[in-house]
Structure 1
């Protein structure tokens, strides 16, 4: 006997267990977020199996936890071949039930008061609520602090009052040689932040932040790795704009190449940031800084083509959305970097790197070659300090040759 779950899903058996009454609404939510019919059917079928198992184990809705997902998938793996997306599908179902208010939020285990996790969480709360730092900054700082505390206290109790300058220097000397210069510099910045926090809390009496060694990181030590404009054309030509994903990726690469946007700026671009009448774009830069840029005609046409025939239906105000369900905005610049890497690999372009930032460097280099001043380049790229732009002077080889002193006693 066939059982209709919703307009998209029909099962051959009546669902059983505590989740059964909610499968229809879950299927509707999947459909609304852009999932394909086959994926909706698969998730509903898996959810019905999970619900039946919960019923057999006499587990009520209010008692469901993440542990039940693990136990069920272990049970299922003994009977059928497991699939890599099963856990994510069930987690999606449980999240839906929590949003519906039928499954309570799961309480996380509270770490021991003197453990590494306890101090790390307290520091994380301080950064988020006390300092109002960006999530990206917190994500970068916290792992270094955890490693520092584990290095000093191991699995034992953490007593910040026992920290000394020797502990700080020992950790930096141990870690710095293993890291890239920029990562090592980030590590020392995170340590200074944490040790200042420890003193602020009264756990440490002396200024241990001053004991953090300085990691050399000379300004403008390298030449920017810029993609050539001919290579940009090759990448753009390789993108199939007959598909929705192709139209999206073409517009993204064009934004990176023509306006030199950072990957995070592309990911956070809002529909309201585009002034179609005036042909202008409002860009959300670092630290909340906004930069008003002219919208080139070719970039505008590419974005419009994606919005008309490519962007999936969504309540999100972000311009660019995921191509696969759920149709939502990108979580950050890493997704844009992944798109760029994929497109570079497909185009067979021998680019300097696989990252998105090379398009920014490429635009600055091309502008310099065409006679633009460093001030004009800095204005377009949204540099708040003039010295940030001076690194591009190193790529103007012809101008640098005029400044070169003659070699003593002639060329060798």
Structure 2
């Protein structure tokens, strides 16, 4: 029987793309991927290169449909090991997609090959630009506000000059029928800011932001959700200091618990923000409000231990990185909240009121107040703009509240 694979190379050669495949492999190795993972990605990139040559597709012809054609082709190549790969799996295609992105980032192929965002209304794009450069709002909030205004556009219309109070009010009322009060409150805030932006630029009638109704909600009515100090200590002590992952998590937990940092503060922290000589940490939080906080002894030692012995050696100034390859910066607040969530599980704390990073921020505030710190001091550490926000934590000292509570008039229990 004739060999149907006659003429196929036993080991696929990338041809003119060989140097880029090798550079791609080097990049993966620098990200500390395992040798097996690097080999898988490299073989996929080499396979894609062979397919391009056999399909007679030049580099300048690669577009967004090329990857789809590769995914659908019936493979007649000989992949590493001599096996015939008839079907191209979704995982295999994702590896090739990463190689294409690698080529685009180095301008070997056009950047237009990379995925692009959907078209956005020019007024919303200008609004987001204004938020970023004039209001000091985080990118995550800017993105959320843009998505919310985009959601309202079908009811508001695309011509701001035609907006009126009736349209604005009805838009929020319609949203209130399908969304929770908390979500409507956030949407109303976004719309109010959008209308203020349009008014400032003469794009709509003035004072339309006053037509956005206030969503009823008791201000700071709930009790703060926190952990007792002994539970926080147990949370921190259960970190496995024999692994880089455990060393990193302990440093994060101590910064959250001692300084009441937000998850965003952890993500945005740079090595240059730490002053070892002065024992301080520079933090830039909401509204780009920059403050310098004293670095507690245990948190500082944990941070130093991570930087010296557990942090991967990559060319990035951010402090905290992923503990597994690829070693890059944490992408969102969810990554930090997951550190707290897993720590709660390790410590066997199954009755925590919440499971995110803010749990330790609330715990830090209540602990400082119970230790005798003033509201002003706690507010300074937590970077509160209003003393009312800090006073919210005073409600957790039940023993003190019992001493100052007045009896019910007439001696009748309520």
Fold shared by both chains (TM-score > 0.5): yes
Instruction: Name the residue aligned to 2:81.
Output: none
Instruction: Name the residue aligned to 2:380.
Output: 379
Instruction: Name the residue aligned to 1:8.
Output: none
Secondary structure of residue in 2 paired with 1:194 = helix
44-53 or 189-198: which moved more?
Answer: 189-198
- Contact 1:161–1:203 at 8 Å: present in 2 too? yes
Deviation for aligned residue 1:188 = 0.8
Q: TM-score w.r.t. structure 2 length?
A: 0.85
Which of 20, 34, 37 in structure 1 is aligned with 2:35?
37
Q: Distance in 2 between matches of 1:376 and 1:327?
A: 37
Q: Distance in 2 between matches of 1:297 and 1:174?
A: 53
Deviation for aligned residue 1:127 = 4.0
- Contact 1:256–1:360 at 8 Å: present in 2 too? yes
Instruction: Name the residue aligned to 2:389.
Output: 388
- Contact 2:165–2:211 at 8 Å: present in 1 too? yes
Deviation for aligned residue 1:295 = 1.9
Instruction: Name the residue aligned to 2:3.
Output: none
- Contact 1:280–1:293 at 8 Å: present in 2 too? yes
Deviation for aligned residue 1:117 = 4.6
Q: Distance in 1 between matches of 2:392 and 2:251?
A: 28
Q: Deviations over 1:34-59 (max 9, x none)?
A: 22211111111111122222223322
- Seen in structure 2, the aligned counterparts of structure 1 residues 76 and 289 have a Cα distance that, compared at 3 Å, is farther
- Seen in structure 2, the aligned counterparts of structure 1 residues 289 and 352 have a Cα distance that, compared at 3 Å, is same
141-150 or 344-353: which moved more?
Answer: 344-353
User: Unpaired segments of 5 or more residues in structure 2?
Assistant: 1-8, 76-84
92-101 or 22-31: which moved more?
Answer: 92-101
Deviation for aligned residue 1:178 = 4.4
Q: CA RMSD in A?
A: 2.8
Deviation for aligned residue 1:18 = 5.5
Are 1:403 and 2:407 counterparts? no
Instruction: Name the residue aligned to 2:5.
Output: none
Instruction: Name the residue aligned to 1:4.
Output: none
Deviation for aligned residue 1:234 = 2.4
Secondary structure of residue in 1 paired with 2:112 = coil
Q: Distance in 1 between matches of 2:145 and 2:139?
A: 10
Q: Distance in 1 between matches of 2:380 and 2:135?
A: 29
Q: Distance in 1 between matches of 2:135 and 2:385?
A: 22
Deviation for aligned residue 1:228 = 1.7
Secondary structure of residue in 2 paired with 1:291 = strand
- Contact 1:76–1:82 at 8 Å: present in 2 too? no
Q: Deviations over 1:370-389 (max 9, x none)?
A: 22221221122222332221
Instruction: Name the residue aligned to 2:152.
Output: 148
Instruction: Name the residue aligned to 1:226.
Output: 226
- Contact 2:366–2:393 at 8 Å: present in 1 too? yes
Instruction: Name the residue aligned to 2:194.
Output: 194
Q: Distance in 2 between matches of 1:132 and 1:237?
A: 37
Instruction: Name the residue aligned to 1:362.
Output: 363
- Contact 1:18–1:60 at 8 Å: present in 2 too? no
User: Unpaired segments of 5 or more residues in structure 1?
Assistant: 1-10
- Contact 2:220–2:392 at 8 Å: present in 1 too? yes
Instruction: Name the residue aligned to 1:98.
Output: 104
Deviation for aligned residue 1:27 = 0.7
- Contact 1:251–1:299 at 8 Å: present in 2 too? yes
Instruction: Name the residue aligned to 1:300.
Output: 300
- Contact 1:111–1:118 at 8 Å: present in 2 too? no
Q: Distance in 2 between matches of 1:25 and 1:401?
A: 68
Deviation for aligned residue 1:88 = 4.1
- Seen in structure 2, the aligned counterparts of structure 1 residues 403 and 209 have a Cα distance that, compared at 3 Å, is same
Deviation for aligned residue 1:25 = 1.0
Deviation for aligned residue 1:315 = 1.4
- Contact 2:72–2:88 at 8 Å: present in 1 too? no
Q: Distance in 2 between matches of 1:221 and 1:282?
A: 32
- Seen in structure 2, the aligned counterparts of structure 1 residues 277 and 351 have a Cα distance that, compared at 3 Å, is same
- Contact 1:19–1:61 at 8 Å: present in 2 too? no
- Contact 1:18–1:61 at 8 Å: present in 2 too? no
Q: What are the residue-to-residue correspondences of 1:234-383 with 2, within 5 Å?
A: 234-349=234-349, 350-383=351-384
Q: Distance in 1 between matches of 2:408 and 2:118?
A: 66
Q: TM-score w.r.t. structure 1 length?
A: 0.86
Deviation for aligned residue 1:177 = 4.9
Instruction: Name the residue aligned to 2:61.
Output: 63
Q: Distance in 1 between matches of 2:116 and 2:31?
A: 32
Q: Distance in 2 between matches of 1:131 and 1:222?
A: 29
Secondary structure of residue in 2 paired with 1:319 = coil
- Contact 1:188–1:212 at 8 Å: present in 2 too? yes
- Seen in structure 2, the aligned counterparts of structure 1 residues 51 and 238 have a Cα distance that, compared at 3 Å, is same
